[in-house]
Amino acid sequence: MAAADSSFQALQQVLCFALAGEAYALPILKVREIQAQATITRIPKAPSYMPGVINLRGAIVPILELRQRFALGEAPEDTRPVIIIVEVQGRTLGIRVDSVSDVLDLDASAIRPAPELGTQTALGREFIAGLASLPGATGSDSMLILLDLDRLLSDGELLALEAATA
């Protein structure tokens, strides 16, 4: 039985999504649903990375704009953003991304730590759980950036989101 448990732990299912032309992923166990069409209601004085909230079957859910959070600039006009509803530290939150691609089974041994590149806060390395190499159709490998949702927002930022949506 122990061998079966260890092989089960060796694979991690992740939801892959695109953001500014790069491939990102987050653990599938954190994902509740995906919203392709949602009307965002703006909240006055909210941080720039929080465009507002949505009404999800009667629950008010704050939305986090990952392009703003990661300082990646505005989305092109033809982008049709998607909102991924996730659980972060016991709170329901929506994260807006450019597109969702698929669900992958990642071997835990394929996940590498993010490299040390100087100041962590400037590069957003604190949100990165690791990097994985994805074999490309042309033979070149592309990188998949795995996000740590629990470190995406500080406790203060989570409290600010709650206050803004209360």
pLDDT tens for residues 85-118?
999 888 899 999 999 999 999 888 888 887 766 5
pLDDT for res 153: 75
Mean of pLDDT values over 43-59 = 88
Mean of pLDDT values over 134-146 = 69
Residue 165 has pLDDT above 70, yes or no: no
| CATH T-level fold of 11-165 | OB fold (Dihydrolipoamide Acetyltransferase, E2P) (2.40.50)
Specify the residue for token string 């994902």: 31
Residue 49 has pLDDT above 80, yes or no: yes
Task: Identify the H or E element spanning 31.
Answer: strand 31-35
What pTM, to 2 d.p., does this model score?
A: 0.81
| Annotated domain spans of the chain | 11-165
pLDDT for res 140: 55
Specify the residue for token string 């100087």: 118
Mean of pLDDT values over 75-79 = 79
Neighbours of 114 (CB within 10 A): 18
Residue 133 has pLDDT above 90, yes or no: no
Show Cβ contacts of residue 74 under 8 Å, excluding neighbours closer than 6 positions.
67
Buried b (16+ CB within 10 A) or exposed e, 31-53: beeebeebebeebeebbebbbbb
